[in-house]
Amino acid sequence: MTGPKLNEKNRVAGTRSGTKASAKYLRVSAYKAREVLDLIRGLPVRIADETLQFTDRHVSDDIRKVLSSAVANAVNNDEQDAGELYVKACFADEGPTLKRFAARARGRGTRILKRTCHITIVVDRLEDERLEVVQAREAKRTAAGRRRGAAAGGAAGRRARVERSRQRAAAAKGGPGDATTNAPADAVTDADHGSAESSAETTAQSFAGIAAAGDKPTFAGAIEAVEDQDPPEGYTVKGNAQSMLYHTTDSPYYSRTKAEYWFQSAEDAEAAGFSLPPSLQHDDAADEENK
């Protein structure tokens, strides 16, 4: 297609607005790239990056790199604030096609076309009215997370969560529970938690010197993740405090998820209030029905 793109809105009467980045000769068809680009067009860059992070398409990784490059160009070259940018335009053009063939019967050959494409992303500053809405939504979500963290912090909050977890387990089994389950939350002592909690506290104390003090919420049985540090031994489950989701090692999103907290098992994560992603919950329910 020649001339300016209809969805670009980047060149009007010789003027230029926005900052762009492009990647050329990607070994994927333009049709497949456009399906992913349609998901992020018009979104703020933070939400667009999260969308690409959890999009189950191979080309989403390349598009995410192009988006990061466009944001970096806007910040370094045009002195824009990364938190005020949005995806103004994104499109994929067809590149040269590599022609190959496969041998078939009777001396014939089947044509194989290996498509390539050029991906371009344009970012620009949000309008003032929309920027206020986005900032208000972000502030509301941050405030809600702080309130949740304040309610969940401390030894008393940990004992209350353990007590609620025991009550749910007893209700699921259909039994009345033991004396410890029926006791009030304030009556649960540190000795009732056993050696498992003491070992977890010892591991958390060993990482206390590495982790910087912050206002993140604390969860029972969890260790706050430290950037550029390997996970503690025995802690393999990743937890995200904003979405309150956890990912095990067999999850398709495990490698794409940045851990904010580490849990020893999925049971510990669920006891702390975390849950599986909805797509994986559906798969587990389908497996149980098949059984």
In this structure, are 119 and 221 located in the same domain? Answer: no
Model pLDDT, residue 234: 79
Whole-number percent of the chain with pLDDT over 70:
70
56 and 120 housed in the same domain: yes
Give the pLDDT confidence score for residue 288 in this predicted structure: 57
Asked whether residue 4 is domain-assigned, the answer is no
> Which of 60, 93, 126 delimits the end of a domain?
126
Closest C-alpha to 221, from 263, 259, 166: 263
Are 234 and 264 contacting, i.e. CB atoms less than 8 angstroms apart? Answer: yes
Q: How many CB atoms lie within 10 A of CB 142?
A: 11
223 touches 217 (CB < 8 A) = no
Below-50 pLDDT ranges, the chain: 1-3, 9-13, 177-196, 199-200, 202-214
Q: Which pLDDT does position 215 carry in this prediction?
A: 54
In a domain, 106, yes or no: yes
Q: Which residues pair with 98 in a beta bridge?
A: 114
pLDDT at res. 207: 43
- The whole domain housing 274 covers 146-290
Residue at which a domain ends, from 126, 158, 174? 126
Query: Do 70 and 154 have their domain in common?
Result: no
Q: Identify whether residues 158 and 63 lie together within a single domain.
A: no
pLDDT at residue number 15: 56
Q: Are residues 175 and 70 in the same domain?
A: no
pLDDT digits (tens, 9 = 90+) for 91-128: 999 999 999 999 999 999 999 999 999 999 999 998 88
Closest CA to 241 of 167, 168, 148, 104: 148
150 shares its domain with 121: no
Q: Is the separation of the CB atoms in 24 and 118 below 8 Å?
A: yes
DSSP state of 29: -
Task: Tell me the H-state helices in 45-191.
Answer: 45-53, 59-76, 128-152, 154-173, 179-182
C-alpha 34/C-alpha 43 separation (Å) is 15
Looking at the DSSP bridge assignments, the partners of residue 160 are none
Instruction: Return the DSSP state at 12.
Output: E
- pLDDT of 142 reads 67
190-230, pLDDT tens digit by residue?
A: 444 444 455 445 444 444 443 444 456 677 778 887 765 67
Please state the domain count of the chain: 2
**Residue 65: predicted pLDDT:** 96
Inside any domain, residue 266: yes
